[in-house]
């Protein structure tokens, strides 16, 4: 049984009884929609790393791994969809799965944005600690800079702070610092700043 690529109804003839598109027209419509959805997904995928630099959660690296996983699975689905569409194969289930992925980077971005912007101004907690080491991976856009400090949280040895380039250059291992942390409006603690003590 074949289904219309555009609306998903069963088709017996070349023209879909439901939306009236021929199989060639349905393929064009399907491709156009796939491109649009992928653009929406990619835009959200740019917003998330950007916001994660402004309101970096303490568990940023864990979130980035999760985000990376979503990103590559979604793109793999898009590639398979494109190929199946070209071969006019059934892709209803995969289409539905893909639409589930489209809003994910936007949901993650909105979570960071709300968590950071709606956080009350005065409630920074300053934790005294020392710098353990630093890590710098030059990247195409902004790179990844981490200041590793000894953790103040129980059961955690080290905190990996997503610092900006100024703070990264300012501190070295052994420095005594205060780390400012905000609780987050959604309960996701995020790194606010690092200061010399
Ligand atoms: Zn149709």
Give pLDDT, residue 1.
65
Quote the ligand 1 centre to 90 CA distance (angstroms).
Answer: 13
Query: pTM of the prediction?
Result: 0.86
- The answer to whether 51 and 109 are in contact (CB under 8 A) is yes
DSSP-based three-state secondary structure for 144: strand
Average pLDDT of adjacent 10-residue blocks, the chain of 197 residues: 87 91 94 96 94 93 93 97 92 95 97 94 92 86 86 94 92 96 96 94
Which of these, 97, 90, 58, lies nearest to 74 by C-alpha position? 97
Q: CA 76, CA 82: separation in Å to the nearest integer?
A: 10
Which residues fall inside 5 Å of ion ligand 1, going by CB? 4, 6-7, 16, 18-19
Give pLDDT, residue 141.
61
Q: CA 21, CA 12: separation in Å to the nearest integer?
A: 12
Quote the ligand 1 centre to 81 CA distance (angstroms).
Answer: 17
């Amino acid at each position: 049984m074949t289904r219309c690529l555009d609306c998903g109804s069963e088709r017996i003839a070349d023209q879909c009884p439901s939306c009236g598109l021929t199989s060639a027209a349905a393929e064009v419509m399907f491709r156009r929609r796939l491109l649009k959805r992928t653009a929406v997904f990619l835009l959200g995928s740019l917003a998330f790393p950007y916001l994660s630099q402004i309101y970096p959660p303490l568990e940023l690296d864990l979130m980035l791994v999760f985000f990376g996983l979503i990103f590559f699975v979604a793109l793999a689905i898009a590639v398979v969809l494109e190929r199946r569409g070209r071969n006019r194969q059934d892709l209803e289930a995969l289409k539905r799965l893909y639409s589930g992925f489209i809003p994910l980077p936007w949901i993650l971005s909105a979570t960071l944005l709300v968590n950071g912007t709606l956080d009350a101004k005065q409630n920074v907690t300053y934790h005294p600690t020392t710098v353990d080491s630093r890590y710098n991976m030059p990247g195409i856009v902004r790179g990844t800079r981490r200041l590793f400090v000894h953790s103040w949280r129980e059961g955690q040895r080290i905190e990996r702070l997503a610092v900006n380039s100024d703070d990264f250059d300012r501190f070295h291992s052994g420095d005594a610092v205060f780390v400012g942390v905000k609780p987050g409006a959604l309960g996701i603690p995020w790194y606010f700043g690092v200061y010399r003590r």
